Amino acid sequence: MPAKPVNPDLQKERSTATFNTREFSVLWAGGEERFKEKKALEKMFLEDPALQDDLPISYLSHKELYEHSLRKACIIGEKIRKLRADGEDGVDTYNALLGGSLGAAILKEGNPLALHYVMFVPTIMGQGTMDQQVEWLSKAWDCEIIGTYAQTELGHGTFLRGLETRADYDASTQEFVINTPSLSAYKWWPGGLGHTANHAVVVAQLYTKGEFRGLAPFIVQLRDSDTHRPMPGIDIGDIGTKLGMKGVNNGYLGLKNVRVPLNNMLMKNQQVLPDGTYVAPKNSVLTYGTMMFVRCALIRDTAQSLAKASTIATRYSAVRRQSPIDPNQPEPQIMDHTTQQLKLFPQIAKAIVFKTTGDGIWNMYNVISGEIEQGNLDRLPEMHALSCCLKAICSADAAAGVETCRLSCGGHGYMDCSNFPTIYGMTTAVCTYEGENTVMLLQTARYLVKVYGQALNGEKLVPTVSYISDAINQTKFVNFDGSLRSIVKAFQFVAANKTRIAYEQIELRRKQGHGTEVAANLCGTFLTAAADLHGRAFLAQTAYTELLALSREVSPELAEVLKVVLELYLVDACLNRIGDFLRFIDLTDQDVTKLEVRLENCLKRLRPNAVSLVDSFDLHDRVLDSALGAYDGNVYEHIFESTKKNPLNKEPVNGAFHKYLKPFMKAHL
């Protein structure tokens, strides 16, 4: 129970809801068992005094914040050890502690040990042989060694073929000699690299017998196991302050003639024999499995970001009163303004759709990973294309949605105590790491152009792109009746035509004499537009299929709310791309007006349940960490309490007055 009485406006919103919030909370958590596990984890971690902050971390220096974050990270790590010993360290536990929910409550600016768990360990599991896993995994799981993943360089990021770090095999000693030959070759950005990790998976260009072989991952010891001093040939440190993720200890790494044993190259997919003979992987994309894994996880993280931002903004909008709608009436809750609803409610809907889609993509990844283990790579390109475009779309929409929620809270949303600055900093980072969004869309577009050519040749396409064949066979969209199904079909028709245009533009450039890569560059805007619409068509289809399926499994009251959420999401998504719809589908002015009126109607229908919907996300006050979004709704009291924690307010007169201001004021006397 909250310590203070609940704000009466917020309490009224909850008492008039038409559905049971706990029912949706259980659904959001993934079922009753996971809901109980979530509550147990919150009790274990959030009630530990050692994991609470006396002083808001925004008042700490960069050095203090790192030391503070590492202390907490080690406590979390110790608790994870206990959970592992008890067999309770499932994927959901790591997602909660290292993702955007429980972990953010403990470490607002990120965990310096996160990449150890989400990149270092999975890379060994995914790219190491069984013998290498035996050698390294137990040490990594027990944190006897702390690792990170060093791929991005100062001069190169998403374009992996441009990486400069080089590993030359010396057959005489059966060692690799690793170098960063220039400043731009320095590894840059890996979390925990600065002062935390003592090992890293270093991605380098491999050379054996004087020949270039491609990229390969190497386990490299960075620091002495006892003293933590850098190993010979290692130049390492922290890259400094950033917009967000300030506690992650992102680092730089230079290597000069660093020698690692032959067996330190992870060789599940490719091998180097003792004499330097190179055995190529069956498929080069197998080496990118770790990044695909992380991208799938990030889609669900974006849903958490939107859930947090929309919860804060919606609760605030139920408490804040301003600007009379009727001059003869008192100031209303700002959530009664239709314009405010348009800012908030689509973000709630997107959070639900992104979570639903993220769960589906995660399950799809696990199925396809199993197929890959059996040597079946048929669906790998499809999975890669989907994970790329969905990571790009969901992160971009989430970052924009967080900012919209901040703006909806006026000036108070600009304060640190709102937690919007931190949520935005963490969310917008996803637009860049694990593949910059534009590059991700281009990756998807390559796949789409390829399958469009296959469809023209009459080949059968996999289900997620089968709509392209449908559009080729039926060049005109008929019977747009405004139903949700027709909106989904229209999205697919528009996406297919965007892909058609991209395909035709590339073919045109080829006929003009340009090579494939130059043609793709010249058509970059066509390609990214096609990938964007493909991802949005997939989101629309998933929302339609999954939310209707869920509505058949829950109570009638919750089912009605989910149907409104679905309609709001699809109508809003359609109107946001109305130019593309008008281009390819014969919509009239009346059709568009009907959609706009439906959007307003959806907002009106969702209004009575808005607070209860965000309550159903079941975000602990520590997770939100917001004066504006606390469960009790006592916004102004919480804002004022935050000022009392400000070190500047600990003394009535700051020393700078006597040192600077008073002499300045008296100088003319």
**DSSP assigned state of 646:** -
Q: What is the dihedral of CA 39, 41, 42, 45, to 10 degrees?
A: 160
For residue 134, count CB atoms less than 10 angstroms from its CB and return exposed for 0-12, middle for 13-18, buried for 19 or more. exposed
Cα–Cα distance between 237 and 250 in angstroms, integer?
8
Cα–Cα distance between 369 and 362 in angstroms, integer?
10
Within 10 angstroms of residue 417's Cβ, the number of other Cβ atoms is 21
- Residue 361: name the closest of 388, 334, 326, 339 by CA: 388
Cα–Cα distance between 78 and 61 in angstroms, integer?
26
Q: For the residues 561-578, what does the mean pLDDT come to?
A: 98
The answer to whether residues 252 and 260 touch, using CB atoms and an 8 Å cutoff, is: no
Averaged pLDDT of the chain: 94
Instruction: Give yes or no for residue 287 having a pLDDT over 70.
Output: no
Burial 237-258 (b: 16+ CB within 10 A, else e): ebbeeeebbbbbbbbbbbbeeb
* Structural Rg of the chain based on CA atoms: 27
DSSP string, 158-220: S-GGG---EEEEETTTTEEEEE--SGGGSEE--TTTTTT-SEEEEEEEEEETTEEEEEEEEEE
CA distance from start to end of the chain = 60
Q: 3-state DSSP call for residue 666?
A: helix
447, two tokens: 């796949």
285, two tokens: 């994309």
Please give the residue that has the higher pLDDT: either 599 or 370.
Answer: 599
pLDDT of residue 585: 96
C-alpha neighbours within 13 Å on the C-beta side of residue 499: 34
pLDDT-derived band at 374 (thresholds 50, 70, 90) equals confident
pTM greater than the 0.75 cutoff = yes
59, two tokens: 């008042």
The answer to whether residues 307 and 101 touch, using CB atoms and an 8 Å cutoff, is: no
Cα–Cα distance between 474 and 469 in angstroms, integer?
9
DSSP string, 520-566: HHHTHHHHHHHHHHHHHHHHHHHHHHHHHHHHTTS-HHHHHHHHHHH
**Lowest mean pLDDT, pick from 152-166, 207-221, 500-514:** 152-166
Residue 404: C-alpha distances to residues 10, 309, 659 (Å): 21, 9, 42
- The annotation status of 191 as a binding-site residue, yes or no, is yes
What is the residue whose two structure tokens read 């991802």? Answer: 535
The answer to whether residues 305 and 257 touch, using CB atoms and an 8 Å cutoff, is: no
- Residue 132: name the closest of 260, 313, 266, 269 by CA: 266
Cα–Cα distance between 296 and 463 in angstroms, integer?
19
What is the residue whose two structure tokens read 């060694």? Answer: 145
pLDDT in tens, 88-108: 777 778 888 887 689 989 999
65, two tokens: 């914040």
- The annotation status of 16 as a binding-site residue, yes or no, is no
Please give the residue that has the higher pLDDT: either 296 or 446.
Answer: 446
Q: For the residues 434-454, what does the mean pLDDT come to?
A: 95
Instruction: Give yes or no for residue 2 having a pLDDT over 60.
Output: no
The answer to whether residues 117 and 153 touch, using CB atoms and an 8 Å cutoff, is: no
What is the residue whose two structure tokens read 């050890």? Answer: 81
Q: For the residues 479-504, what does the mean pLDDT come to?
A: 96
Please give the residue that has the higher pLDDT: either 449 or 157.
Answer: 449
- Residue 247: name the closest of 145, 423, 113, 417 by CA: 113
The answer to whether residues 510 and 519 touch, using CB atoms and an 8 Å cutoff, is: yes
Q: Which residues contact 573 (CB under 8 A, 6 or more apart)?
A: 487, 491, 536, 539, 540
Q: For the residues 464-492, what does the mean pLDDT come to?
A: 94
What is the residue whose two structure tokens read 């568009």? Answer: 592
Q: Which residues contact 236 (CB under 8 A, 6 or more apart)?
A: 193, 194, 222, 223, 230, 251, 252, 253, 254
DSSP string, 17-44: -SS-HHHHHHHHHTSHHHHHHHHHHHHH
Identity of the amino acid at 75: I
pLDDT of residue 284: 64
Backbone angles phi, psi at 416, to 5 degrees: -60, -35
**DSSP assigned state of 132:** H
Cα–Cα distance between 451 and 444 in angstroms, integer?
11
191, two tokens: 């979390």
pLDDT of residue 3: 65
Instruction: Give yes or no for residue 628 having a pLDDT over 60.
Output: yes
Q: Which residues contact 497 (CB under 8 A, 6 or more apart)?
A: 471, 583, 584
pLDDT of residue 285: 60
Identity of the amino acid at 2: P
381, two tokens: 């390109």
Structural domains for the chain: 23-111 (1.10.540.10), 146-281 (2.40.110.10), 287-434+637-663 (1.20.140.10), 436-587 (1.20.140)
Q: Which residues contact 44 (CB under 8 A, 6 or more apart)?
A: 79
pLDDT of residue 94: 83
Cα–Cα distance between 305 and 400 in angstroms, integer?
11
Q: In degrees, to the nearest 5, what angle opens at C-alpha 296 toward C-alphas 347 and 82?
A: 100
Backbone angles phi, psi at 36, to 5 degrees: -65, -40
Cα–Cα distance between 239 and 311 in angstroms, integer?
33
Instruction: Tell me the β-bridge partners of 208.
Output: 211
Cα–Cα distance between 448 and 466 in angstroms, integer?
11
- Residue 68: name the closest of 194, 249, 251 by CA: 249
Cα–Cα distance between 85 and 82 in angstroms, integer?
5
pLDDT of residue 346: 98
pLDDT of residue 1: 42
Cα–Cα distance between 354 and 563 in angstroms, integer?
16
Within 10 angstroms of residue 262's Cβ, the number of other Cβ atoms is 18
327, two tokens: 């001059």
Catalytic residues: 434
